[in-house]
Structure 1
Amino acid sequence: MRILVVMDPIQHVNLKKDSTMAMLWAASRRGHSLSYIEQSDLYLDQGKAWGLTADLKVFEHQADYYHLGEQVKTQLADFDVILMRKDPPFDMNFVYTTYILEQAEREGVLVVNKPQSLRDCNEKLFATQFPELQVPTLVTSRASLIREFIATHQDVIVKPLDGMGGTGIFRVTHGGLNIGATLEMLTSLGTVPIMAQRYIPEIVDGDKRILMINGEPVPYCLARIPQGGEVRGNLAAGGLGEARPLTEKDREIAEKVGPFLRDKGLFFVGLDVIGEYVTEINVTSPTCIREIDAQYGTSIADLLFDVIEAKRSAS
């Protein structure tokens, strides 16, 4: 297959942790040809989806892990598969990119994940479609409502709806200092909605990332354990990653969410689970492949490409 990857600058990836590189290595081992593009190089011309793409070779060693050819104008319909792996922020540039990729999809390309679903399924808000799997959760821009929520639940996490890697996450308690300033900052003085969730004490045992491939869970998750008095377990915030087999409860959660992911064309998704509760459903560019592979000898990217190849051959 001809595969195009949309990603952040490849020269800046953290090779030890980058899940996109794991996907590209798996595709290369299978004999697929690769091309590379950044978000700003996608465009529409007379209603057709185009890009300034470069041939990409990848190598599985630290010193020299990629080689890029010269950029050329390419119609996106020339590709069989596009991997959309651009990291958040989920801003208007990201939204515009999904429109271009949606045009490529109309022209016959398989886009992973589905562009419309990337727009529809905000990683914080999507989880609210499964209230039975969540702790008490409030989404609002009104400080008065959030203060009521804090008074009711006493210990609360507040966070922006468009963050990643644990950025902008605060733990606040009833009667605590700086609640007003925290809410003013996160809500931009009451103009932007944020999420408030009852604090889950089980975070000390790890914020589990359960990877889902076409609605089915990978048998192992990565528990991201907060370090040094941190509230956040995110690896980007210094959390320690410990791979573990899924528990029976993890599998129950995956079984409930999985059909919705398949219906929405979300081939590769990361469920964030603390204790027995889903906190987020990550659809943009989920990670943790490398950490789980390293600790359990799995090849999660190959599981993904089994699905992609089957889907492409059936179309």
Structure 2
Amino acid sequence: MKNKIIYIAIALILILGVVGYSFYQKIFAPAVIKKGTVYIPSNGSMNDLTKLITDFVEKTDDFNWVAEKKKFTKPKGGKYTLKKGMSMNDLVNLFRSGNQTPVKVTFNNQDSLEKLAGRIAQQIEADSTTLLKAFKDSDFLKKNNFTEVSALGMYIPNQYEFYWNTSAEKFRNKMLSYYNKFWNASRIEKAKQHGLTKEQVITLASIVQKETAQIVERPKVAGLYLNRYKNNWPLEADPTVIYALKQKHGQDFIVKRVLFKDLEIKSPYNTYKNVGLPPTLIAMPDISAIDAVLSPEKHDYFFMCASIEKIGFHDFAKTLSQHNRNAAKYQRWINNQGIKR
């Protein structure tokens, strides 16, 4: 009888050991079979999460069992990085903690808030419609002295770090904080030295941005426009005429060549007809264009024309006669290319 009791006890111990080991394996054994990333929607459910991890674990039932035992019922939205060998316990703790992996949000020079919203929507959870609504929110614009047009200058092209599930409003507000940090005391002082507000700097930088894609040339171009601006000359910037033409004919209107008749267009953005800066920026300038305006090259140039010897750059001139020679050379070259519009 005594031996029977011993055998039963041993059997129970073995059973408990097997069961305990099974539970341990479910909870703490390596479960993630490959590294990867999952994006959990802000309103995601446990069923959604189970589907998202299907490719990373062999037994989703074990994950749900561990989650239930740990009373984990609602995942926190965001981007999460999974490492090979993580246990089910690790996964539950990760998703419950909300310890997201930030995303690097980047954008270049977008011509409109619509295009910017589309670019950002490719990188965070918020869709383009929601983002655009936040960008154009009238209360926000009024409070921060922007209009729907000038607000484009609030977004400085760069790389920024955000959480994937950042809302449209929080994204916009964070970009405003980045904008305010960008306009530090040094940049504001440089703007004052040129007699410009930061909004005027952005406007002139947008012209420089459109005038030349060559970063090394931007300080020289900025210096030229500042020479004209400070001497009360019309800027005579072709990009402003192109902007006016697109306002009239639509954003899909293609202009490869500005014609003399185009210079007659009636628009406050036509810097051939109006002295001073246009009402707002004409494009989203990047940091190099803004800093070119703040720290321009000092020279006596008042004219420039696209170069035919160094494509993508410009020939600069101090006098109208010299400029006319450069312009005639360019006109002959462009005619030979067969570019009509």
Task: Name the TM-score, length of structure 2 as normaliser.
Answer: 0.22
User: Relative to total residues, which structure has the larger strand share, 1 or 2?
Assistant: 1
Higher relative contact order (CA 8 A, sep 6+): 1
Bigger radius of gyration among the two: 2
Structure ranking higher in helix proportion:
2
